[in-house]
Amino acid sequence: MLKTKAKTVTFTILMSSILLSSCSLGLNNQGVPQQVVGESSSLYYTVNQGDISASLIGTGQLVPIKATSLYFNNVSGPVSQLNYSLNDTVKKGSLFAQILPTEIENKISMQRIVVQKGKGRLRLLLDGNGEVAELRKSIELTKLDLESKREQKKNLPKETELAINKAKLVLEQYEVEKSSTMKSQELAEIEQRNVEDAVRRIEIRLEQVQNQIQSSIVALEREQLVYDNLIANAGSAEDIKIAAIRLEQAKLSLSNSEKDKAITELDLKLALVPTEQYKMDQAALGLEGVTKSIEGAGLTLDEIKKNSDQKMKLLDQGIQETKIQIDLLNLRLNQALKEHEFNTRQAKLDQESAELTLSMLEQNLLNSKLYAPVDGVVSYMSNVSITDNLSISHLLAKIADPNQLALKLTAIDAKYISDVSTAVLVIGSKKYDVELYTPQPGDALYQNSAVPNNSNLSNLFVKFKGEVPKLKFEESVQVQLEVVKENVLLVPKSNLKVESGKVMVDVQRNNEIVTVEITRGIESDVNIEVANGLEVGDQIVRR
Q: Is residue 100 part of a domain?
A: no
Following DSSP, what letter does each residue of 432-488 receive, concatenated? EEEEEE---TT--TTTTSPPP--TT-S-EEEEESS------BT-EEEEEEEEEEEEE
* 435 inside domain: yes
pLDDT tens for 352-388 read 888 898 888 777 777 778 899 999 999 999 999 888 8
Whether 99 is in a domain gets the answer: no
- Whether residue 275 sits in one domain with residue 245: yes
**Last-in-domain residue among 356, 383, 400:** 400
Q: Is residue 513 part of a domain?
A: yes
Is residue 140 located within the same domain as residue 287? yes
pLDDT, tens digit (0-9, with 9 covering 90-100), for 81-127: 899 999 999 999 999 998 875 566 778 888 889 888 888 877 777 77
User: How many distinct structural domains can be found in the chain?
Assistant: 3
In a domain, 338, yes or no: yes
Contact 51, 486 (CB under 8 A): yes
Domain that holds residue 121: 106-367
Same domain, 338 and 448: no
In a domain, 101, yes or no: no
- Regarding whether 300 and 430 lie in a shared domain, the answer is no
In degrees, rounded to 5, the angle at the alpha carbon of residue 535 between the alpha carbons of residues 531 and 539 is 120
Query: 89 and 162, same structural domain?
Result: no
- Please identify, among 347, 367, 387, the residue that sits at the C-terminal boundary of a domain: 367
471 and 323 both lie in a single domain: no
306 and 181 in one domain? yes
Let me know the angle formed at the C-alpha of 44 by 43 and 46, rounded to the nearest 5 degrees.
160
CATH code where residue 145 lies: 1.10.287
**Domain finish residue from 367, 382, 412:** 367
Residues 59 and 77 in one domain: no
Question: What DSSP string describes 78-108?
Answer: E--EE---TT-EE-TT-EEEE-S-THHHHHH
CATH code of the domain containing 73: 2.40.50.100
Q: 443 with 299, same domain?
A: no
pLDDT per residue as tens digits for the range 195-224? 788 888 888 888 888 888 898 898 888 889
- The closest of 480, 312, 467, 340 to 405, measured between CA atoms, is 467
Residues 395 and 418 in one domain: no
State the pTM of this model. 0.46
In the predicted model, residues of the chain with pLDDT beneath 70 are 1-41, 101-104, 128-129, 167-178, 185, 272-301, 411-416, 446-458
Same domain, 241 and 275: yes
| 205 is a domain residue | yes
Q: How far is CA 93 from CA 73, 366, 373, 407, in A?
A: 16, 13, 6, 28
The answer to whether residues 13 and 134 belong to one domain is: no
Q: Is residue 132 part of a domain?
A: yes
